[in-house]
Structure 1
Amino acid sequence: MPNNLIILSESSSFPWGMAASNRVRNLAKVLLKENWDVEYAGLRGADIPKDKKTKFSSIGKIDNIPFIYPGGFTVRSNSWWFRRIDDILGFFGIFIFFIFKKIKRKVECVIIYSRSTNVVKFWSHFLHLLNIPVILELCEWPLAIAETSGKGHKNASHFCEDVVPLVDAVLPISSYISHEVYRISLKKNVYIPSFQIPILIDNVYHTSRDSNFSSDKFLLYCGSIAYMDIAKIVVDIIYELKKRNIHIPIKFTGREDNARITELKLYAKNRGVLSLFEFTGFLDENDLFNLMRKATCLLAPLPENLQSQSRFPTKIGYYLASGTPILTNAVGDVKHYLKDKINAFIVENCDSRQFAAKIETILNDQELSKNVGLFGKDLAFEKFHYRCACLGLGEFLRQVVQNYRNS
């Protein structure tokens, strides 16, 4: 009989979100193949724009993965009051949901996808009361974020040093986080089993880049406008290209945020490059992936700080899988996989002038660019496809459950 696992999150917005939602989907897919039944439970409504084309349901199934939002809210409201109601109903709904699953013996373990101290701490204690082991998915390391931003250090330290040791295993996305978990385990004198899972992709690219290739050259950056430091680096790159008399447009995707977009537009206007920017807003997966395939180059500048060292952006996997050449810099796990002019274009530092020089190379040597894109695509499916990157995860979780029951 299959084992039963529930993925619990307040932030991944499965199945309608992007990076976090895709990661949940890919983790679930590999576990389904390794004889686990997987269900997603949302603590609150999905934090995504609500459009009229999408049918939102609080209970459903996609890719053979059942999902439920027990609070009844499928999409997070803009109203403060409705958000609080969503939080309350979601909390009690999940509470009842787990008790029901335990009574029916339909849950062997739970993966929590969150970096909220309160979420991980409370639900770890509650699930342990039900004799259910907890595995924590770690896609970011709060202490690295706090060190980079200069704020929130106390809460980040509490999460990393006090909350992480409460769980029964972790699934870190990067080598940096793996090392930090090991450091915490030594400091707290507690064993924390770890199974590192890099960025994950699936079979999203069924057509080759050539069949969708556009003769119109443009750069593409896919990312959140919330990372304003990166957004401004993108503007600086376009400015440096302009100084080289290269006037290539750039499409900037991501969820609309009027205040931040206004700030970025002003920055681009002062640099004299606003006319080269097109802000597409939030795109569904198919439109986004098609845009990746048609682009001349995909930008992924990563600031040289602890947050970048600890992260491993999911978009790099999908960038690579598109067959379009990716341009990024050597920081964190990126440098372990990507090699300059072989499967990606890499600059040594996150410097707009270095990025501009590489883009000039990409534009002037189309044969090299095409080959780099193809080798990048090969790398993506060899190293980051969920069937390869997660092999053994199901057995690891079975061992965690067995060890928990024997302890």
Structure 2
Amino acid sequence: MSENFNVVYLGSDGFPVGLAEIQKIKLVSKSLIEVGGSVTVISRNAVHAPSPSVTLKKSGKYGEIDYVFASGTPFKPKSFVKRNLLKVWGAINEVFIIRRLNRKKKIDFAIVSSKRFGILLLYRFLSKLLGFKVLLNFAEYNSELRKEKGKKKSLNDSLFEKYGFNYVDGVIPISELLLNFVRKNAPNKPCLKIPVLCDFDKFEQSDEKQNEQYFLFCGAPNFELISFILNAYDTLNNHSDVHLYLVVNGPAAAQKKLKSCITKIKNADKVRTFSKLPYPQLVSLYSNAMGLLIPLRPTLRDIARFPHKIGEYTASGNPIVTTNVGEVKNYFEDEQSALIAENYDEIEFAKKMNFILEHPDRARKIGEGGKTVGLENFDYRIYGEKIKSFVISLP
């Protein structure tokens, strides 16, 4: 592979608009561009609802990253027939786009961000035909996610988790559990662990101040976790002037349920909710929080994953309150770089929140320790050269 190299991102739809998966694509792409790469992200399907807030073309640039929607549009039609015709066209046109890209500027490797076994086989076929390597981004234990939702393990999950690693040249797992899962199912498959990533520069630009003292949780509308946080907050020793901010995106039904959950606690009047915030405003909320909350449950799913928010939390320089589950124990130390409840328990979690109220100076130092951990492990700039060297080393 030459000093200047070309990468294509495949298997994820919607770029450059989206949450954790899209954010990681952006950061990995930026890291590769900084070491001489050019990156094109191909979205097969139109996934965005038409909205004044989403102004996308069928192809363009996000910073230095090229992107294209194989469907010909980023916006999904209301018509059922048109939507499915676009899916068929997107699948066909994606192949043509990959072929044209390879002719224009030889593709050195592709990063696949998909858990669909059939699509993985297609990308493997194209890689053999056109002569590029394939890396698989492995960020979630899909069958455990289905089990958590009360669904049975699908045929796709079985095929992907047992055989999928045999159809790529290397794997990029996000956690130790997923790394060990690959080693169990494909013992000789090269792996490069890449944890949650963050652009720390964006947090240096925040100087807006908030008028209230508050703890903050930012995440999906997972009401088990939200109820856990609300109950922990409600048991704090002294929080007459301390608020709880919940940044939770989701449809109207989820927002209604969130409001209902809040009414069940005695300090409901001190809870503030936010949704679909502009990123600079979200950074400001992180940067002014007393503590940033992210409880993880002792489930295989939470042990396997690594929430994107942890990286952003460290960048704020404020103390993280979490539980001793999964990747937390591999990076953080209690009362040194985070406040870590040993068990997934509301009372234990509340004690760690109380620590911040009772020891504000020590809490600030713990936040600084967390930021150091983040800069050493989660800064996207660390990984460009590592990925490049990893690809060169692949047989």
Q: TM-score, normalised by structure 2?
A: 0.90
Displacement of 1:365? 1.6
| Alpha-carbon distance change, 74 to 129 in structure 1, aligned in 2, over 3 angstroms | same
Displacement of 1:335? 0.8
What is the CA deviation profile of residues 90-115 of structure 1, one whole-angstrom value per residue up to 9, with x for unaligned ones? 22221210121233353122111122
- SS of the equivalent of 1:183 reads helix
AA aligned opposite 2:104: K
| Alpha-carbon distance change, 78 to 326 in structure 1, aligned in 2, over 3 angstroms | farther
Displacement of 1:217? 0.8
Displacement of 1:272? 3.9
AA aligned opposite 1:224: A
- How many residues are aligned here? 391
Map 1:63-212 → 2, pairs under 5 A: 63-76=63-76, 80-81=80-81, 83-155=83-155, 156-186=157-187, 191-207=188-204, 211-212=207-208
Rounded to whole Å, the distance in 2 between the matches of 1:86 and 1:377 is 44
Displacement of 1:75? 4.1
Rounded to whole Å, the distance in 1 between the matches of 2:246 and 2:81 is 32
- 2:279 is the counterpart of 1:277: no
- Runs ≥4 in structure 1, deviation > 6 angstroms? none
- The answer to whether the 8 Å contact 1:142/1:157 transfers is no
Displacement of 1:50? 5.7
- SS of the equivalent of 2:235 reads helix
Displacement of 1:233? 1.7
- 2:229 is the counterpart of 1:230: no
Displacement of 1:298? 0.8
Rounded to whole Å, the distance in 1 between the matches of 2:160 and 2:8 is 22
Structure 1 partner of 2:12: 10
Unaligned regions of 5+ residues in structure 2, if any?
none
AA aligned opposite 1:218: Y
Percent identical pairs in the alignment equals 24
- SS of the equivalent of 2:101 reads helix
Map 1:206-221 → 2, pairs under 5 A: 206-207=203-204, 211-221=207-217
| Alpha-carbon distance change, 208 to 364 in structure 1, aligned in 2, over 3 angstroms | farther
Map 1:312-391 → 2, pairs under 5 A: 312-391=306-385
Rounded to whole Å, the distance in 1 between the matches of 2:111 and 2:179 is 17
Structure 2 partner of 1:289: 283
AA aligned opposite 2:217: Y
Structure 1 partner of 2:304: 310
2:250 corresponds to which of 247, 256, 275: 256
Structure 2 partner of 1:246: 239
Rounded to whole Å, the distance in 1 between the matches of 2:122 and 2:64 is 29
What is the CA deviation profile of residues 314-336 of structure 1, one whole-angstrom value per residue up to 9, with x for unaligned ones? 11011011112111111111111
| Alpha-carbon distance change, 250 to 28 in structure 1, aligned in 2, over 3 angstroms | same
Displacement of 1:89? 3.1
Displacement of 1:219? 1.7
Rounded to whole Å, the distance in 1 between the matches of 2:251 and 2:334 is 34
What is the CA deviation profile of residues 205-237 of structure 1, one whole-angstrom value per residue up to 9, with x for unaligned ones? 45377x444341112111111x33222222222
| Alpha-carbon distance change, 77 to 201 in structure 1, aligned in 2, over 3 angstroms | farther
Unaligned regions of 5+ residues in structure 1, if any?
none
Rounded to whole Å, the distance in 1 between the matches of 2:321 and 2:77 is 36
Displacement of 1:295? 1.5
Rounded to whole Å, the distance in 2 between the matches of 1:51 and 1:258 is 16
Displacement of 1:27? 0.9
**Between 264-273 and 321-330, the greater mean CA deviation after superposition:** 264-273
Structure 2 partner of 1:298: 292
| Alpha-carbon distance change, 364 to 216 in structure 1, aligned in 2, over 3 angstroms | same
AA aligned opposite 2:73: F
- The answer to whether the 8 Å contact 2:35/2:384 transfers is no
What is the CA deviation profile of residues 129-153 of structure 1, one whole-angstrom value per residue up to 9, with x for unaligned ones? 4443321101112244345445332
- The answer to whether the 8 Å contact 1:347/1:358 transfers is yes
- SS of the equivalent of 1:251 reads strand
**Between 275-284 and 131-140, the greater mean CA deviation after superposition:** 275-284
